[in-house]
Amino acid sequence: MAYSFDTIIPREHTNCYKYDLRSKVFGDSSVIPLWVADMDFKIADEIIEDITNAAQHGIYGYTYFYEELYNSLMQWNARRNNWHFSASDVVFYHGIVPSLNLIIQEFTNVGDEIIVQTPVYFPFFESVEKHSRVVLNNQLVLRDGVYQIDFDALERSINPRTKLMILCHPHNPVGRCWTHQELMQLHDICKKHSILVVSDEIHADILLYNNKHIPWATLSDYARENSITLVAPSKTFNIAGLSISAIVCQNPEILTKIKSFIERNQLHGMSPLNMKAFESAYTKGEQWLFELLRYLEGNLQCIREVMQQTSKIHLIEPQATYLAWLDCRNMNMTDEELQTFFVRKAGVGLSRGIQFGRGGEGFMRLNYACPRSVLLQALHQIIKVL
Ligand SMILES: Cc1ncc(COP(=O)(O)O)c(C=O)c1O
């Protein structure tokens, strides 16, 4: 292994949410923070070097989106996902959540219904509500320990006001990698009802074991022309604070509308350092990612082993993401009591399941992208008080 993920790097006093907002969020600045979805690992040396070199130039003037930047994204997806698109299908933007907000405003009207599937990353439904659109929640169902899409319920609830579906692919927080069959079932429903799909594929590279990611846009010609995909190296390479992502759309009419929104609102432009990090991650980060994934699988194994010692918490096996969705319903506590238990008794700061909408009651989300010793300490503290 060329990289070490065991090193503990102090993050206190760097103004990061995860550490420096602990007293505000948990009322205690000493909890082991396993909440915000970024990683406690140093990023690949190659990326640091490229950012540093760019920084040392000393002039950070207006920078256009250059050819190698597009190439880095296209080649990454062609090589790893067999997904081929051209530079003219790509628009760079300031993040996935800002892109979602753009799409909601540009492609739906006030009062339109937008499909989300809770429990899900909360900005999905918050963004819908903030723009006075209506959430059509097709809650995921947990069958035999595996989260599944309720296709029948979805078909029944779709109506002429349903215009858009926001797909979390892979899914945060339940860790599902949707299979080809599941995706095709969704695809056929969306096609039948002319629903535009926005596929958030930010977690697509964090695949555990041999799970595969199938980009939505590769499902069919129809999917390619009736969808918008959001991708970024931010989760994969731990550069989320740099706020750069890409919108990929292979339908020129849809893309023109996206570009027009950006121009109307004068949201173009990006930091040259962010662009460099993006390019560097996709061109030089693959070996680091390979090693990261093996480390994450090791961390997951630790969680699995510790959770086997108790019937109170059940790990929902993730296929992707570095987020473990813990079923704490056997603890027979309210969500308030669960939070108090983890913070006050175990000294661990997790994300509360209810934040992720309906179906999150009685669950907690644990971010295991941290050095193993930190994770083991947190697990030990939890198991001890259980
Ligand atoms: C599914 C999903 N989408 C988007 C984001 C955030 O993306 P961004 O920081 O680019 O807005 C996250 C972060 O946790 C996420 O889990």
pLDDT digits (tens, 9 = 90+) for 197-255: 999 999 999 999 989 999 999 999 999 999 999 999 999 999 999 999 999 999 999 99
Residue 66's CB is within 10 A of a number of other CB atoms, namely: 12
- For residue 62 the two structure tokens come to 């207006």
**Does the C-beta of 240 come closer than 6 Å to ligand 1?**
yes
Looking from the CA of residue 94, the nearest atom of ligand 1 is: 10
What is the CA(309)–ligand 1 centre distance, in A? 33
**Does the C-beta of 200 come closer than 6 Å to ligand 1?**
yes
- Per-residue model confidence (pLDDT) at position 308: 95
- For residue 56 the two structure tokens come to 């040392």
CATH number of 49-284: 3.40.640.10
Which of 41, 16, 149 shows the shortest CA–CA distance to 137?
149
Tell me the residue ranges of DSSP E strands in the chain: 32-33, 90-93, 113-116, 134-137, 141-143, 146-148, 162-168, 196-200, 227-231, 245-248, 314-316, 323-327, 348-349, 351-352, 363-367
**Does the C-beta of 239 come closer than 6 Å to ligand 1?**
no
**Residue range(s) of every CATH 3.90.1150.10 domain in the chain:** 17-43+286-385
**Does the C-beta of 206 come closer than 6 Å to ligand 1?**
no
What is the CA(204)–ligand 1 centre distance, in A? 12
Residue matched to tokens 């919108």: 247
Taking a C-beta distance cutoff of 8 angstroms, is the pair 379, 303 a contact?
yes
Taking a C-beta distance cutoff of 8 angstroms, is the pair 249, 227 a contact?
yes
CATH class entry, domain 17-43+286-385: alpha beta
What is the CA(310)–ligand 1 centre distance, in A? 32
Residue 199 CB contacts under 8 Å (≥ 6 apart), including other chains: 167, 169, 215, 216, 217, 227, 228, 229, 230
Mutation pick for ligand 1 pocket among 97, 127, 206 (CB with most ligand atoms within 8 Å): 97
Distance, CA of 92 to CA of 99 (rounded, Å): 10
Look at strands 363-367 and 113-116 and give their pairing: unpaired
Mutation pick for ligand 1 pocket among 121, 140, 174, 229 (CB with most ligand atoms within 8 Å): 121
- Per-residue model confidence (pLDDT) at position 140: 98
Q: Whose CA is nearest to atom 14 of ligand 1?
A: 37
What is the CA(59)–ligand 1 centre distance, in A? 30
Question: What amino acid is encoded at 167 in this protein?
Answer: L
What is the CA(38)–ligand 1 centre distance, in A? 10
At residue 46 the predicted structure's pLDDT band, cuts being 50, 70 and 90, is very high
Classify residue 2 as exposed, middle or buried by CB count within 10 Å of its CB (0-12, 13-18, 19+). exposed
Mutation pick for ligand 1 pocket among 94, 96, 366 (CB with most ligand atoms within 8 Å): 96
Rg of the chain's alpha carbons, rounded to an integer? 21
Taking a C-beta distance cutoff of 8 angstroms, is the pair 356, 330 a contact?
no
What is the CA(377)–ligand 1 centre distance, in A? 27
Classify residue 305 as exposed, middle or buried by CB count within 10 Å of its CB (0-12, 13-18, 19+). exposed
Q: Whose CA is nearest to atom 13 of ligand 1?
A: 37
Model confidence pLDDT, tens digit, residues 70-93: 999 999 999 999 999 999 999 999
**Residue range(s) of every CATH 3.40.640.10 domain in the chain:** 49-284
Distance, CA of 324 to CA of 307 (rounded, Å): 12
Distance, CA of 233 to CA of 240 (rounded, Å): 8
What is the CA(96)–ligand 1 centre distance, in A? 6
Distance, CA of 296 to CA of 40 (rounded, Å): 12
Looking from the CA of residue 168, the nearest atom of ligand 1 is: 1
**Does the C-beta of 351 come closer than 6 Å to ligand 1?**
no
- For residue 132 the two structure tokens come to 């006075």
What is the CA(122)–ligand 1 centre distance, in A? 10
Model confidence pLDDT, tens digit, residues 142-170: 999 999 999 999 999 999 999 999 999 99
| Residues 121, 127, 128, 132, CA torsion sign | positive
Model confidence pLDDT, tens digit, residues 309-325: 999 999 999 999 999 99
Mutation pick for ligand 1 pocket among 92, 167, 235 (CB with most ligand atoms within 8 Å): 235
Q: Give bridge partners of residue 73 from the DSSP assignment.
A: none
Query: Quick one: average pLDDT of 51-71?
Result: 97
- For residue 187 the two structure tokens come to 């695809």
**Does the C-beta of 168 come closer than 6 Å to ligand 1?**
yes
**Does the C-beta of 234 come closer than 6 Å to ligand 1?**
yes
- What's the CA dihedral at 16, 17, 20, 24 to 10 degrees? 160
Model confidence pLDDT, tens digit, residues 338-378: 999 999 999 999 999 999 999 999 999 999 999 999 999 99
pTM metric for this prediction:
0.97
Q: Whose CA is nearest to atom 9 of ligand 1?
A: 95
